[in-house]
């Protein structure tokens, strides 16, 4: 029997046909995401400016020294965060994750504390503030929105809102909180509408804060220093002293827009289930990947078919706000529970609910209690798959086109909050065609990895968290599963290719043998004897050996009890973003 050593340039012959047929699990029981059957007409939705433009009033208050205007950089001196991801997160290691954490007070604050607490929601980066990226020469600035509540009932929520400004340079994290207030003659007050601060987008000097049907506009050129930081002093100006619910700084509302026309009413009453189906702005981000900048918004809808809308921002000038902004495109996504959205040009990234066969799914709660997931939706075809697990209750997303990193933040309670970034394109099949041999029902969870990093003949292949290491890259070439680092092929131990439980190992490739040959069948690779790649005991625990076992029948689409059947055997070579 002739043995051959396959050169690494052979990837030009990579079997793309089989890989293209890989089917990813639809988000949380939904159907595959779809674009509307026909393109939406421009102007399907409109953001209408409601009330006055407060720019003149804000300037007058500053000129009269009712309030003291300071540079936004003053806010960055208040608190110190923690570089790195200080809590568990579930992110795909192949995507080169990084990030930072808040200080202990902000990590632990929550509505159930005595007197109430804060919950983070929206997230934005200065990388989208300008075409060249950055804000006033600073490249590592970020913003987050929070709402304040004294409990978890609706009557106790959304009492105040704040914006955090952060500078995170990698080795150092500095930030501060700014209260969001509304200017009035002689001073300022609490915001007119209860604000959940669902999302935030950074565009030039403007901070665009989503709140249901309402889009609030703030100007970073007008940060105010408060006279008092006593929370009991309330919000406003009394006897010449300013205070904003205990905050050192405040940011006044310049204008507000509404998806419901010239009146807002209750901005929290929106969505597909509300009479009239008023459009909800549940999350927003700035997209600078097209010919013109745009605001992207998405609704949070538990069961999918949430509306995603694109709003051109060309009418927002340095000192001008249009009376209205008409949408230019919209579509539906089947991702369940969308909390964040961003776009890189080719793809939309959406944070939402994980598929229900994944770890952490709670049938009674109809959701995942361990992780969120970041879904990728192709902008041209609407096809959707999961890029990675993500920290529990991941909220706003923001894409940095200059370094091609996706940022996000979660709202989990009890000391589990992180601000993270990942590099989606680091998870692609590389230029030579090497991908990841992974169970893509658990993106970022597990990759086929030679035990101990060894490359010798006979080395067992194990389940291991994906790290992005070259030792986890494989290719399917003419039916052979070839390991990049060793140049060897996945081979049944002792050539026992027909026996259940046979250990899978590395061995010198033999292009003339069927023993090492696999084909794609029903979501995973199967050998000539109908045996599929299967972790021993159906376990995804680190270090578990990969074996051969008879391929299970695929799920019956008419029988919900079969959902997820055979998932443990769905091992394929592919890039996570492919």
Of 45, 28, 11, the closest CA to residue 328 belongs to 45
Average of per-residue pLDDT across 303-322: 93
Burial class (CB in 10 A: 0-12, 13-18, 19+), 344: buried
Q: Per the domain annotation, does 351 fall within a domain?
A: yes
CA distance 439 to 442: 6
354 and 461 both lie in a single domain? no
Query: What average pLDDT does the chain have?
Result: 90
Q: Per the domain annotation, does 413 fall within a domain?
A: yes
412 and 520 both lie in a single domain? no
pLDDT bracket for residue 11 (50, 70, 90): very low
pLDDT at 25 over 80: no
411 and 497 both lie in a single domain? no
Scored b (16 or more CB within 10 A) or e, 460-491 reads bbbbbbbebeebbbbbbbebbbbbbbbebbbb
Residues of the chain with pLDDT > 90, as a percent, come to 78
Q: Per the domain annotation, does 432 fall within a domain?
A: no
Question: Which pLDDT belongs to residue 170?
Answer: 84
105 and 156 both lie in a single domain? yes
Q: Per the domain annotation, does 395 fall within a domain?
A: yes
pLDDT at 467 over 80: yes
181 and 239 both lie in a single domain? yes
Q: Per the domain annotation, does 145 fall within a domain?
A: yes
pLDDT bracket for residue 561 (50, 70, 90): low
For 395, other C-beta atoms within 10 Å of its C-beta total 26
Rg (CA), the chain: 26
215 and 244 both lie in a single domain? yes
Last residue of a domain, one of 380, 395, 427: 427
190 and 312 both lie in a single domain? yes
pLDDT bracket for residue 567 (50, 70, 90): confident
Q: Per the domain annotation, does 547 fall within a domain?
A: yes
pLDDT bracket for residue 437 (50, 70, 90): very high
pLDDT at 362 over 90: no
Q: Per the domain annotation, does 100 fall within a domain?
A: yes
The total number of structural domains that make up the chain: 2
563 or 439, higher pLDDT: 439
CA distance 111 to 416: 15
Residues of the chain with pLDDT > 70, as a percent, come to 90
Average of per-residue pLDDT across 279-292: 95
Of 359, 360, 394, 403, the closest CA to residue 375 belongs to 394
98 and 236 both lie in a single domain? yes
- pLDDT, one tens digit per residue, over 208-226 is 999 999 999 999 999 999 9
Q: The tokens of 308 are what?
A: 């995603």
Averaging pLDDT over each range in 39-48, 272-281, 418-427, which range is the top one?
A: 418-427
Q: Per the domain annotation, does 372 fall within a domain?
A: yes
Q: The tokens of 574 are what?
A: 């592919």
468 and 510 both lie in a single domain? yes
- Global pTM reads 0.90
Question: Which pLDDT belongs to residue 370?
Answer: 87
CA distances for 403 relative to 127, 133, 383, angstroms: 9, 10, 25
Average of per-residue pLDDT across 274-301: 95
- Paired with 247 in beta bridges are 244
356 and 208 both lie in a single domain? yes
CA distance 142 to 168: 8
Last residue of a domain, one of 399, 427, 455: 427
Question: Which pLDDT belongs to residue 552?
Answer: 86
166 and 297 both lie in a single domain? yes
pLDDT bracket for residue 36 (50, 70, 90): very low
Last residue of a domain, one of 372, 396, 427: 427
298 and 182 both lie in a single domain? yes
CA distance 224 to 459: 64
Range of the domain at 533: 8-24+440-574
- pLDDT, one tens digit per residue, over 132-179 is 999 999 999 999 999 999 999 989 999 999 999 999 998 999 999 999
The domain that holds 460 is classified in CATH as 2.80.10.50
Average of per-residue pLDDT across 462-490: 96
Range from 238-242, 332-336, 368-372, 542-546 carrying the lowest mean pLDDT: 368-372
CB 571 within 8 A of CB 438: yes
Question: Which pLDDT belongs to residue 456?
Answer: 98
Tokens 């992180």 map to which residue? 418
Question: Which pLDDT belongs to residue 163?
Answer: 99
Which residues, at least 6 apart from 119, have a Cβ–Cβ distance to it below 8 Å?
109, 110, 111, 146, 147, 148, 149, 411, 413
């Amino acid at each position: 029997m002739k043995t051959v050593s396959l050169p690494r340039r052979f990837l030009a012959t990579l079997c793309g046909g089989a890989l293209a047929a890989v089917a990813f699990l639809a988000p949380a029981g939904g159907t595959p995401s779809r674009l509307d059957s026909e393109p939406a007409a421009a102007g399907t939705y409109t953001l209408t400016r409601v009330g006055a433009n407060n720019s003149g009033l804000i300037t007058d208050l500053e000129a009269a020294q009712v309030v003291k205007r300071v540079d936004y950089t003053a806010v960055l001196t208040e608190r110190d965060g923690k570089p790195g991801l200080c809590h568990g997160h579930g992110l795909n290691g192949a995507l080169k994750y990084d990030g930072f954490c808040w200080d202990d007070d902000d990590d632990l604050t929550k509505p159930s504390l005595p007197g109430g607490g804060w919950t983070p929601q929206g997230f934005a980066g200065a990388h989208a503030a300008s075409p060249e990226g950055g804000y006033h020469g600073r490249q590592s600035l970020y913003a987050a929105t929070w709402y304040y509540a004294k409990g978890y009932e609706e009557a106790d929520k959304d009492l105040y809102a704040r914006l955090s400004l952060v500078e995170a340079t990698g080795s150092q994290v500095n930030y501060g909180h700014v209260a969001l207030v509304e200017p009035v003659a002689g001073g300022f007050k609490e915001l007119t509408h209860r604000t959940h601060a669902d999302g935030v987008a950074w565009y030039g000097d403007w901070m665009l804060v989503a709140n249901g049907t309402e889009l609030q506009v703030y100007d970073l050129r007008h940060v105010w220093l408060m006279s008092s930081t006593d929370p009991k002093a309330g919000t406003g100006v009394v006897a010449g002293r300013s205070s904003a619910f205990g905050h050192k700084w405040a940011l006044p509302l310049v204008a507000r827009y509404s998806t419901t026309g010239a009146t807002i009413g209750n901005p929290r009453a929106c969505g597909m289930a509300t009479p009239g189906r008023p459009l909800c702005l549940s999350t927003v981000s700035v997209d600078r990947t097209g010919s013109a900048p745009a605001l992207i918004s998405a609704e949070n809808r538990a069961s999918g078919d949430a509306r995603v809308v694109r709003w051109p921002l060309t009418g927002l000038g340095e000192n001008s706000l249009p009376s209205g902004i008409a949408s230019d495109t919209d579509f539906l996504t089947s991702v369940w529970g969308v909390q964040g959205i961003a776009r890189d040009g080719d793809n939309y990234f959406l944070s939402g609910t994980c598929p229900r066969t994944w770890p952490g799914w709670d049938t009674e709660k109809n959701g995942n209690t361990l992780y969120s997931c970041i879904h990728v939706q192709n902008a041209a075809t609407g096809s959707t798959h999961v890029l990675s697990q993500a920290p529990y209750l991941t909220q706003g997303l923001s894409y940095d086109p200059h370094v091609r990193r996706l940022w996000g933040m979660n709202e989990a309670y009890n000391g589990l909050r992180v601000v993270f970034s990942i590099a989606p394109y680091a998870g692609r099949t590389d230029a030579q065609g090497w991908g990841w041999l992974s169970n893509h029902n658990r993106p970022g969870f597990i990759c086929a990895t030679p035990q101990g990093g060894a490359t010798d003949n006979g080395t067992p292949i194990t389940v291991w968290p994906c790290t992005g290491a070259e030792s986890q890259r494989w290719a399917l070439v003419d039916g052979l599963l070839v390991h990049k680092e060793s140049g060897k092929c996945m081979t049944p131990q002792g050539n026992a290719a027909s026996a259940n439980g046979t250990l899978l190992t590395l061995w010198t490739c033999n292009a003339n043998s069927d023993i090492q040959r696999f084909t794609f069948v029903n979501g995973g690779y199967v050998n000539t004897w109908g045996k599929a790649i299967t972790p021993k005991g159906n376990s995804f625990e680190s270090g578990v050996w990969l074996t051969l076992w008879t391929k299970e029948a695929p799920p019956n689409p008419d029988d919900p009890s079969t959902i997820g059947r055979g998932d443990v055997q769905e091992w394929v070579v592919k890039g996570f973003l492919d």
